[in-house]
Structure 1
Amino acid sequence: MRFTTIFRKAPIQIGHLQSSVKLLHSLPRPRPRNHTNRFFRKPKLVKTQTPEAKVYTRDTVSNIYNILKYSTWESARAQLPNLGIKWDSHIINRVLKSHPPMQKAWLFFNWASDIKGFKHDHFTYTTMLDIFGEAGRIQSMYSVFRLMKEKGVVIDTVTYTSLIHWVSSSGDVDEAVRLWKEMRGSGCEPTVVSYTAYMKMLFDGGRVDEATEVYKEMLRSRVSPNCHTYTVLMEFLVGTGKCGEALDIFFKMQEIGVQPDKAACNILIGKACKFGETSFMARVLVYMKENGIVLRYPVFLEALETLKAAGQCVDLLREVNLHITAESLCSNDTVEAEVDDMESSDDSRIISSVLLLKQSLVAVDHLLNQMKDRNVKLDSSVVSAIVERNCDRCRTEGASLALDYSSEMGIHLEKSAYLALVGYFLRENELGKVIEAVKEMVKAHHSLGVYQGATLIHRLGFGRRPRLAAEVFDLLPDDQKGVAAYTALMDVYISAGSPEKAMKIFEEMREREIVPSLGTYNVLLSGLEKTRDFQREAASLKKEKRSLVANGRFRGNVDVEEKVCDLLFARDL
């Protein structure tokens, strides 16, 4: 029954007009009205409730950490059950990752095992394993690993990678290799992190051939190297005196959209200092200057000493690291004054100050929006720096805002900025924005290049977006639609289950008199052999492939296009 029905007034019925005086006096009388306050309404008293203070996870974790660190275990064990916390894997793992004292972390781990309704999972086990490994307690780490197996906890690639890292750090490379083989045997597929960590271990252990094979296996498995992977390769090459090859990787990784970050530049400069490679340092410093990357203070001092000892000029080093010599001048008051005085200041100078000196990217977003409204056009170099810095900080909104601003204002960015956008959007799986960046790049008359174009098409196909891959192929100029680009598009259609489209592209390639490479045959045969409709074509392609291999043409004088194609798709090399 509704409240309106419950509280509806029932009509008063008087049965007889001639009722007793008592009955008349019992009827309700109207209250006398106060005409002076007829429009006055007495305010209702509202009960105010004080909202409960919200408890954040970080505060809970900090409280538990302080209890573990500053109390005895007997006192901590008495306090923990009275905290009123719902103990789950996330809370336990966060507490362990806060690095309480190792002994108390282990006692807390075992105490949590006895909580009713709670069971440790592979996250908490792996974190506890990391705590022992970091402390050099390898036997204790193995005890946790054996406990995982006994409890039937799922052991994944992350757990094995952690084991391999700490075992190799202890100097037992052979045991780390055994763990790698055990991981592969258990069906755990390596990630880019595990591949990179294992390669670094092998390089540091002097097992160069094994590390090279692991890198080739990584590429065959279609696991894309990241910045840290390339840094490991370059660090090894610089250490062996092959700075030319390291520079090739340094520039090629930028071409495919992987920009060296601050950590990579610091590692490379530090490595070059140890071997006195001043020319290599200069090339890296030029890149750092163009991208607003600075050195850590210890690395700066080491580089300064190396250049002075070699009799080299240190001006470039100081230009890259202005924050070290002029850090006291770059106060918050200076930047805030420049922003407040925006109407009378140069916009490019303000943007550069906020971006490069204080890293205030949120403020840069506001300024860009204002300039868009005011139809103010910034310099290309400034917008390019904004794009690259947002990509470095993984700020999708900031990078997209800068790209939209440049597009609306007709600003052509530098090639490195477009490549940074393409690489970042690929990593974030924002494939639609990848196409926007490529279109703007073509408008700016920048070329993707043979390797970048083929790799981008291949990556979009790997993300199950054949339409976008075909769109990138169409954006390429005719002189870059070679065997690598065609083969990449064929691989896209083969992966999408459309061998007929792949054969159509193959015929188009032959009409343009483009000679297939070994990678082309591998891609087509991998798809055609699985279907009954193209058995005759598959047999013919097999003969052509055998003839190509027999002639040894794929190992001899091969142009850049075919080398790129074979690097991406030839699994028999």
Structure 2
Amino acid sequence: MFISHGARQFFRNCKLLFPVCSNQHFGCSKKSSIRWIYAHQQFRKKKTVYQINGRKKETLGTDKKVTSDQKVYARDIIRNISNILRYSTWDLAREELQKLCVRWDSYTINQVLKTHPPMEKAWLFFNWASKLKGFKHDQFTYTTMLDIFGEARRISSMNFVFQQMQEKGVKIDAITYTSLLHWFANDGDVDGAVKVWEEMKAKHCHPTVVSYTAYMKVLFHYNRVKEATKVCKEMLQSGFSPNCYTYTVLMEHLAYSGKYKEVLEMFNKMQVAGVLPDKATCNILIQKCCETGETWAMNKILQYMKENSIVLRYPVYLESLETLKAASESDVLLRQVNLHFSTECATKDDINNCDAIVSDNNAVVDIGLVLSFLRRKNFLAVDSLLASMMKQNTQLDSKTISTIIEVNSAHCRPNSALLAFEYGVKMGVRIERTAYLALMGVFIRTNSFPKVVNVVGEMIGVGISLGMSLGAILIYRLGLAKKTGCSAKIFDLLPDEQKNTVTYTALIAAYFSSGQANKGLKTFTAMRNKGLHATLGTYNVLLSGLERSGRVDEVEHFRKEKKQLEANGHSQNMDLLEETLCNCLFAGDTMF
């Protein structure tokens, strides 16, 4: 089975080989309302009754069949109720609803409301459901109804629903408060959004990373930069790490302020932290670059998109083309990133540009054969074809080689994955980051740890960041396997900016886990000599390792230092994100 990234690449390349008439373009816009996922209710299995020789027999259907039937049944019921509300008057709809043999629970009501029936009928349905015997609205149905009014900018009605929640004692959580402040801000009432935030804090309802991000976006939008910065610091101090959307909000503000150098610095920093920019983030940043004509920043982001197989939405792609044309700059990189758009060439100039991207027809045929064999899981044929192409110096593109590595890794075929990796190194093909990670994974699973070091060395050598969190986890994992030599080599391969408290702590943990207490203490001393501060996670590693080694005196010494750090609250002169990550990885009681 293809892993998600490999499958995506496979179908994209197939579109180049076998064009299909399609004018659909898929967007990546973020939904404005807050959404939740609920588990399906479990129902009893239905019995099948049939007769044999005049006697009735009862059998239970297979779990697989029952599950499938339940999913279809739930989907059809919800669609049917939604259609009744859409295409009937309320009087007729109410009669039809009363005739339905439906288990009216919170999940069903909520899913019907999320299909967005007409607002007035949604409210009538909401009130009708509240009178059903044995049913009571909960925080999920109330919040969805609140979202419906908020999206329609019926703020007074939204406030009425919220007031009902309070009067009836329905639990109000961070999701409900986040939805409220979002819709107040969307209606232009920033003071109302701030009031909701303060009320949430006063009620001791702890915000989530989504709540912090939504509130920061509101404050940035209304140019309350100092308040937004304060909220960001509060989020980090609360132990939350920024997610992709948080970074997007911060970079969008920097771009709005014209600070594109800082945008790219944060773009790189989030990757080092192990948070990869997604399709929505890249589209937002590219669109900002188009608005201000910052083509140099656009090309940097396009290069990342090319390496990670991310594409633009069609309107953003067209806007980017116009921006590059106005600046008299080449659009080859833009077309390479968006081959599914670039192959639809209409003019002679477009055809020439497409020919510049794919100039070797034989290579295209080879790619088609490789992808066809992969689809049929004929891995021996892929190995044979790849070995032949290596001898003949036939060039394959980065996406195809990366797909071969990922598919072979997913099927635990390390030798074949290594063959594709060696082909990429020999031919100078830039392998994608996901392929490197898949290759490391299969070598770790097969205990081929020296090969992991080779892959990491090649990866860092071509300028692809391993990431602070991934580097630390990898160093520690090799230490658990008693391969501290490999751990030390990976640590040495890291760039200087990634040799920080997190990776030093990982190396110390690797030494202690393999029983090399002296090397662990020596590494800790080297970390301090470099001017790096220890965190609670670092002290946890030291204390656990020294206790296992029976070094009582040193345990007491470091326990005192740990108590002093706990009294101060956090390490001074240290990046909060770095400290939080170190504590998350190594401050657990059951690390060893």
Shorter chain as denominator, the TM-score bin is: 0.5 to 0.7
**Are 2:206 and 1:189 equivalent residues in the alignment?**
yes
C-alpha separation in 1, matches of 2:520 and 2:175:
41
TM-score by length of 2: 0.65
What is the aligned partner in structure 2 of residue 355 from structure 1? none
The alpha carbon displacement at 1:139 in A equals 1.7
* Cα distance in 1, alignment partners of residues 189 and 200 from structure 2: 17
1:97 aligns with 2:114: yes
Partner of 1:258: 275
- Aligned match of 2:375: 366
Could you tell me whether the CA contact under 8 Å between 1:65 and 1:95 is conserved in 2?
A: yes
Contact 2:491 2:499 in 1 (8 A): no
Say if 1:517 and 1:80 are closer, same or farther in 2 by CA, change over 3 A.
Answer: farther
| Residue among 255, 259, 262 paired with 1:238 | 255
Within 5 A, what are the aligned runs for 1:54-73?
Answer: 54=69, 55-73=72-90
Amino acid at match of 2:314: Y
Matched, 1:123 2:140: yes
Tell me the amino acid that sits aligned with residue 455 of structure 2.
K
- State how far apart, in whole Å, the 2-side matches of 1:117 and 1:229 are: 41
How far apart, CA to CA, are the structure 2 residues paired with 1:536 and 1:78? 77
* SS of residue in 2 equivalent to 1:477: helix
1:417 aligns with 2:436: no
The match for 1:282 is 299
8 Å contact kept, 1:199–1:215: yes
SS at match of 1:164: helix
Q: Secondary structure at the match of 2:534?
A: helix
Structure-1 residue corresponding to 2:522: 508
What is the aligned partner in structure 2 of residue 199 from structure 1?
A: 216
State whether residues 164 and 176 of structure 1, in contact with CA within 8 Å, keep that contact through their aligned partners in structure 2. Answer: yes
> Which is higher, the Rg of structure 1 or of structure 2?
1
Cα distance in 2 between the residues matched to 1:435 and 1:211: 47
* Secondary structure in structure 1 of the residue aligned to 2:84: helix
Equivalent residues of 1:387, 1:417 under 8 A apart: no
Looking at structure 1, the residues matched to 364 and 174 of structure 2 have their Cα atoms a distance apart, in angstroms, of: 54
What pairs with 1:365-384 in structure 2 (closer than 5 Å)?
A: 366-367=375-376, 369-372=377-380, 375-376=383-384, 381-383=398-400
Counterpart in the other structure of 2:233? 216
Describe the SS at the equivalent of 1:520. coil
Size of the aligned set, in residue pairs, is: 476
Q: What amino acid sits opposite 1:172 in the alignment?
A: D
Q: How far has the Cα of 1:440 moved from its partner? A: 4.0
**Greater relative contact order (Cα 8 A, min sep 6): structure 1 or 2?**
2
Report how far residue 65 of structure 1 moved.
0.8
Deviations 1:484-517 (A, max 9, x none): 2455449989xxxx99x99988723245474265
Distance in structure 2 (CA, Å) of the matches to 1:225 and 1:542: 28
Rounded Cα–Cα distance in structure 1 between residues aligned with 2:516 and 2:537: 9
Q: Give 1:451 deviation, angstroms.
A: 8.8
Equivalent-residue separation in structure 1 for 2:330 and 2:420 (angstroms): 39
Indicate which of 486, 501, 517 corresponds to 1:484: 501
Q: Shift in Å at residue 73 of structure 1? A: 0.4
CA deviation string 1:121-165 (max 9, x = no partner): 211111111111111111211221222222222222221211121
Rate the CA distance shift 1:237–1:308 in 2: closer, same or farther, 3 A. Answer: same
266-275 or 285-294: bigger deviation: 285-294
Q: 2-side partners of 1:117 and 1:491: how far apart?
A: 59
Rate the CA distance shift 1:544–1:134 in 2: closer, same or farther, 3 A. closer
Is contact 1:490-1:524 (8 Å) kept? no
- Return the letter of the residue paired with 2:128: W
Aligned to 1:86: 103
Q: What residue in structure 1 maps to residue 309 of structure 2?
A: 292
Q: Which amino acid aligns with 1:417?
A: R
Corresponding residue for 2:368?
349
Partner of 2:126: 109
| Alignment counterpart, residue 160 of structure 2, candidates 143, 148, 153 | 143
Give 1:385 shift. Answer: 4.7
Q: Distance in 2 between matches of 1:152 and 1:504?
A: 59
Indicate how the Cα distance of structure 1 residues 445 and 216 shifts in structure 2: closer, same or farther if over 3 A, else same. same
- In structure 2, do the counterparts of structure 1 residues 504 and 145 end up closer, same or farther at CA, with 3 Å as the change threshold? farther
Q: Equivalent residues in 2 for 1:258-337 (5 A)?
A: 258-327=275-344
How far residue 437 of structure 1 moved from its aligned partner, in angstroms, is 11
* 8 Å Cα contact 1:457/1:492 also seen in 2: no
Contact 1:272–1:281 (Cα < 8 Å) also in 2: yes
**Deviation of 1:268 (Å):** 0.9
Structure 2 unaligned runs (5+)?
1-51, 347-362, 387-395, 425-429, 584-592
- TM-score, with normalisation over the residues of structure 1? 0.67
The Cα offsets for residues 80-106 of structure 1, whole Å up to 9 and x where unpaired, read as 021111111111111011000011011
Q: Is the 8 A contact 2:402 2:431 kept in 1?
A: no
User: Which sections of structure 1, spanning at least 5 residues, go unmatched?
Assistant: 1-42, 330-343, 353-362, 391-396, 556-561
Matched letter for residue 227 of structure 1:
C
Q: Give the structure 2 partner of residue 400 of structure 1.
A: 410
Structure 2 counterpart of 1:366, which letter? R
2:184 is the alignment partner of 1:163: no
CA distance in 2, matches of 1:241, 1:248: 14
Shift of residue 262, structure 1, vs aligned partner: 2.0
Q: Is the 1:255–1:419 Cα contact (8 Å) retained in structure 2?
A: no
- Deviation for aligned residue 1:474: 5.6
* Alpha-carbon distance in structure 1 between the residues aligned to 2:152 and 2:403: 41
Check the 8 A contact 2:185/2:193 in 1, yes or no.
yes
1:150-209 Cα shifts (integer Å, max 9, x gaps): 222222222121112111111122221222232233333333322222221121111222
Residue 456 (structure 1) aligned with residue 470 (structure 2): yes
* Structure-1 separation of matches of 2:211 and 2:205: 11
Tell me the CA shift for residue 113 of structure 1.
0.9
- Equivalent pair of 2:324/2:330 in contact (CA under 8 Å): yes
Aligned in 2, Cα 1:461/1:442: closer, same or farther, shift over 3 Å? Answer: closer
Aligned residue type for 2:367: S
Matched, 1:443 2:455: yes
Code of the aligned partner of 1:348: I
Structure 2 residue aligned with 1:23: none
- Residue 536 (structure 1) shift: 4.8
Q: Distance in 1 between matches of 2:450 and 2:221?
A: 39
Measured on the aligned residues, the alpha-carbon RMSD in Å equals 5.2
Which moves more between the two structures, 411-420 or 147-156?
411-420
With over 3 angstroms needed to count, the CA separation of the structure-2 counterparts of 1:293 and 1:410, relative to structure 1, is: closer
Partner residue in 1 for 2:40: none
1:172 to 1:405, Cα distance in 2 relative to 1, 3 A: farther
8 Å contact kept, 1:227–1:259: yes
Cα 1:307–1:224 shift into 2, 3 Å? same
Q: C-alpha separation between the residues in 2 aligned to 1:436 and 1:75?
A: 69
Give the distance between the partners of 1:242 and 1:467, measured in 2 at CA: 44
Structure 1 match to 2:534: 520
Q: Counterpart amino acid of 1:145?
A: F
Contact 2:459/2:465 (<8 A) preserved: no
